[in-house]
């Protein structure tokens, strides 16, 4: 019986120091998507405060008014972008849910873009613990 | 037979309130991932399992009929059939003996998919691993393994999962180590995995020799663990961090 | 044919009523930061784009990045005035493309 190979990695991002995104990289990515620096605003970000495993973290982002798009960014993942979402006319709610990866404890930032060009952002801090044991 | 169940019931009642499934110690977000079929990360595997169930001239369905008929089957493992056998092992035997197909590699996707699918049919039923002279001997061996210190870290399973369940190890909550929800989609693995895989991970974690797939040690330990969790409601496939 | 995506939506909806669509596509979403046992770097291989259309009109779209978990899950809300067809497409690296359609029944 051939043994299947397993990949050793505590998380999807095996912590490469040279690829650590900074706050600046996140802000650049946000500006690239939003078209400008968004002002602070209100957005609902549903995510566990304490995440048991950063490989698959359920997250929901919702705005309180219809928007053209929503996007999610991270401060300390190797890359800041998570997802950019665009809503069409048949959209019923300005929200989406997904599962994201978090390389470590950090801040995640959601940004909204309205049809009239306004954009705003909100963030939340998440603590990420990793599994304690390492596989053979 | 009846008296055996009575004894089991009494034993269970004595321990019922002390036992907590790992599923109940997870965060609400992960509990939802497991409870909501539409979000469950093993959906794709279950869909693959359903296809596998019906695939080929000598499909599983051709002998077993409808999947629902296997309700209760997964609850009665590990079992004895010329040796100890767990649910994935039983599926492998069926594949080789009755479908004349080569055995899958350990943790092969279709094998786990079928194990998840069959285990899911026993949702809500209590784990009821069978008894018998050979099984009782193996369970005793399993209990010895469970309580023996091993590895460079010189730890026994009991020290974490009996004595320190509820405390934290490196930020992670130590569960009681029940086996009610296997196979589980472990976020750490980003895939489904069997109980044997999880046990091998623990062995590696304490820097002990990792027993081979389907070794006597792993199967004996699985049997002991199933008895330790006997009576708890199965909710397979599970989700774990 | 192997199942490569799971899509959940209500069997029937009322005209104009919001309903949630939940989608999962089978894909490892390899980030490019992991290594195999032998130390070889596993190359980046991601789903990049998801689109949902109702009778051909784009109703929801997403650009995905490496920080989306394996087997990307996306859920969103739609409303419709009449029955129609929902189509879903995922595009990714190495020519990855997967399409699904589902009937939408407005009761």
What DSSP string runs through A83-126? EEEEE-TTEEEEEEEEEE--SSSEEEEEEEE-TTS-EEEEEEEE
What is the CATH topology of the domain spanning B25-240?
Cytochrome Bc1 Complex; Chain D, domain 2 (1.10.760)
Per-residue pLDDT reduced to its tens digit, B112-141: 999 999 999 999 999 999 999 999 999 999
Say if domain C5-104 classifies as CATH 2.60.120.10: no
Task: Write down the mean pLDDT value for chain C.
Answer: 94
Neighbours of B188 (CB within 10 A): 25
CA-closest candidate to residue B34, choices B158, B204, B165, B187: B187
CA-closest candidate to residue B176, choices B168, B189, B164: B164
Per-residue pLDDT reduced to its tens digit, A77-113: 999 999 999 999 999 999 999 999 999 999 999 999 9
**Complex-level ipTM:** 0.94
Radius of gyration in angstroms for the set of CA atoms belonging to chain C, rounded to a whole number: 16
Q: Where are the domains of chain C?
A: 5-104
Per-residue pLDDT reduced to its tens digit, A48-86: 998 989 999 999 999 999 999 999 999 999 999 999 999
Residue given tokens 């495993």 in the structure block? A53
Cβ–Cβ of B171/A132 closer than 8 Å?
Answer: yes
Distance from CA of C73 to the nearest CA of B (A): 8
Distance from CA of B219 to the nearest CA of A (A): 17
Q: How far apart are the C-alpha atoms of A80 and A101, rounded to whole Å?
A: 11
Q: Which candidate in A58, A104, A126, A129 is best for mutational testing of the B interface (most B CBs within 10 A)?
A: A58
Task: Write down the mean pLDDT value for chain A.
Answer: 86
pLDDT at C38: 83
pLDDT at B16: 47
Per-residue model confidence as pLDDT tens for chain B (241 residues) = 666 666 655 555 545 458 999 999 998 999 999 999 988 999 999 999 999 999 988 999 999 999 999 999 999 999 999 999 999 999 999 999 999 999 999 999 999 999 999 999 999 999 999 999 999 999 999 999 999 999 999 999 999 999 999 998 877 889 999 999 999 999 989 899 999 999 999 999 999 999 999 999 999 999 999 999 999 999 999 999 9
pLDDT at A134: 58
Distance from CA of A38 to the nearest CA of B (A): 29
The subunits that touch chain A, with at least 3 C-beta pairs less than 8 Å apart, are B, C
Q: pLDDT category, A3, cuts 50, 70, 90?
A: very low
* pLDDT-flagged residues of chain C (< 70): 1
pTM assigned to the model: 0.86
Per-residue pLDDT reduced to its tens digit, C17-26: 999 999 999 9
Q: What's the full length of chain C, in residues?
A: 107
Q: How far apart are the C-alpha atoms of B213 and B165, rounded to whole Å?
A: 26
Assess B110–C contact: CB distance below 8 Å, yes or no: no
pLDDT at A19: 43
Structure tokens at B45: 């595997």
Cβ–Cβ of C57/A89 closer than 8 Å?
Answer: yes
C4 → chain B, closest CA residue: B44
A97 → chain B, closest CA residue: B39
Per-residue pLDDT reduced to its tens digit, B192-222: 999 999 999 999 999 999 999 999 999 999 9
Domains and CATH numbers, chain A: 17-128 (2.60.40.2470)
What DSSP string runs through C77-91? EE--SS-EEEEEEEE
Residue given tokens 């690296």 in the structure block? C93
């Amino acid at each position: 019986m051939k043994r299947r190979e397993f990949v050793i990695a505590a998380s999807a991002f095996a912590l490469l120091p040279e690829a650590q995104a900074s706050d600046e990289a996140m802000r650049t990515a946000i500006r690239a998507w939003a078209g400008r620096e968004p002002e602070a605003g209100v957005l609902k970000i549903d995510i566990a405060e304490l995440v048991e495993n950063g490989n698959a973290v359920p997250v929901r982002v919702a705005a309180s008014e219809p928007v053209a798009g929503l996007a999610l960014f991270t401060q300390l993942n190797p890359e800041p972008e998570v997802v950019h979402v665009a809503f069409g006319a048949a959209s019923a709610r300005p929200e989406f849910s997904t599962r994201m990866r978090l390389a470590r404890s950090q801040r995640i930032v959601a940004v909204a873009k309205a049809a009239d060009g306004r954009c705003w952002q909100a963030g939340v801090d998440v603590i990420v613990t990793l599994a304690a044991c390492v596989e053979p | 037979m009846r008296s055996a169940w009575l004894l089991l019931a009494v034993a269970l009642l004595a321990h019922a309130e002390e036992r907590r499934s790992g599923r109940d110690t997870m965060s609400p977000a992960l509990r939802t991932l497991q409870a909501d079929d539409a979000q469950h990360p093993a959906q794709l595997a279950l869909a693959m399992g359903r296809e596998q169930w019906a695939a080929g001239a000598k499909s599983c369905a051709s002998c077993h009929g409808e999947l629902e008929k296997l309700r209760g089957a997964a609850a009665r493992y590990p079992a004895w059939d010329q040796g100890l056998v767990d649910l994935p092992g039983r599926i492998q035997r069926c594949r080789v003996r009755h479908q004349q197909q080569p055995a899958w590699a350990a943790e092969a996707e279709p094998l786990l998919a079928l194990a998840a699918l069959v285990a899911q049919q026993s949702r809500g039923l209590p784990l009821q691993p069978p008894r018998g002279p050979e099984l009782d001997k193996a369970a005793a061996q399993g209990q010895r393994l469970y309580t023996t210190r091993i590895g460079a870290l010189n730890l026994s399973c009991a020290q974490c999962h009996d004595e320190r369940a509820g405390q934290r190890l490196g930020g992670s909550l130590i569960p009681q180590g029940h086996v009610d929800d296997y196979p589980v989609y472990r976020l750490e693995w980003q895939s489904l995995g069997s109980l044997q895989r999880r046990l091998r991970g623990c062995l590696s974690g304490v820097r002990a020799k990792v027993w081979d797939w389907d070794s006597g040690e792993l199967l004996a330990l699985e049997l002991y663990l199933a008895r330790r969790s006997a009576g708890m409601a199965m909710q397979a496939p599970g989700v774990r961090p | 044919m192997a199942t490569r995506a799971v899509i959940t939506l209500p069997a029937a909806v009322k005209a104009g009523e919001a309903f949630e669509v939940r989608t999962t596509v089978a894909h490892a979403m390899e980030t490019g930061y992991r290594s195999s046992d032998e130390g070889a770097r596993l190359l980046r291989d991601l789903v990049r784009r998801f689109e949902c259309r109702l009778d051909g009109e784009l109703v929801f779209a997403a650009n995905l990045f490496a920080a989306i978990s394996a087997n990307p899950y996306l859920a969103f809300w739609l409303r419709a005035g009449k029955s129609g067809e929902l189509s879903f497409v995922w595009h990714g690296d190495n020519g990855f493309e997967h399409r699904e359609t589902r009937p939408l029944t407005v009761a």
